[in-house]
Structure 1
Amino acid sequence: MTDKKTSAAQLKALRNWEKRNKDKAKYYNYKSRVKTFVNQLATDEDLNWIIELAEERQKELREEKTCQKYQQSQHQTNSQAPTTT
């Protein structure tokens, strides 16, 4: 029989944290799955596909960031314009 290394109290604390931080827990879980897949199972073809996906996502994020910067600069320009009453 194998002994469990994590105490019941620690497991309970982990479950409570996961309940309170669902988005973070989901993020960490997905990140771990990707790392395991890449390091243990992925073929060269899989890695090329993942790289393509990552590059597309990076492009999307950069475009979103550029769009947000533009919107912020427009907001600042509009709020600095003199108002006539």
Structure 2
Amino acid sequence: MLDQYEELDEIAEEYGASQMLSALLACSDTPEGLSGEVLYGVLGFCYEAVLDREDVPVCSLEAELENARCREVIAFQKQAVSEPFGNSG
């Protein structure tokens, strides 16, 4: 799997592809299940992919909050994490 990941990562041209590949690799490397730590990493990789696709400077919180897509992803991730616990976000 790691060899295939590295091959795909080298040829990936789409913005955010590397981060999404990293998220998939993290998910596939969890024999005990998706722990909170791994889930945090996966969600982080997915968010970084959005930052890359939206061309948002990672070091600028203000720029992220001004970007509608970033706000949508944050809201989705918060809901997805809260839902199993009966929380509305």
TM-score (norm 2): 0.30
Larger helix fraction of residues: 1
Q: Which structure would you say has the larger Rg?
A: 1
The structure whose RCO (Cα within 8 Å, separation 6+) is larger is 2
TM-score (norm 1): 0.32
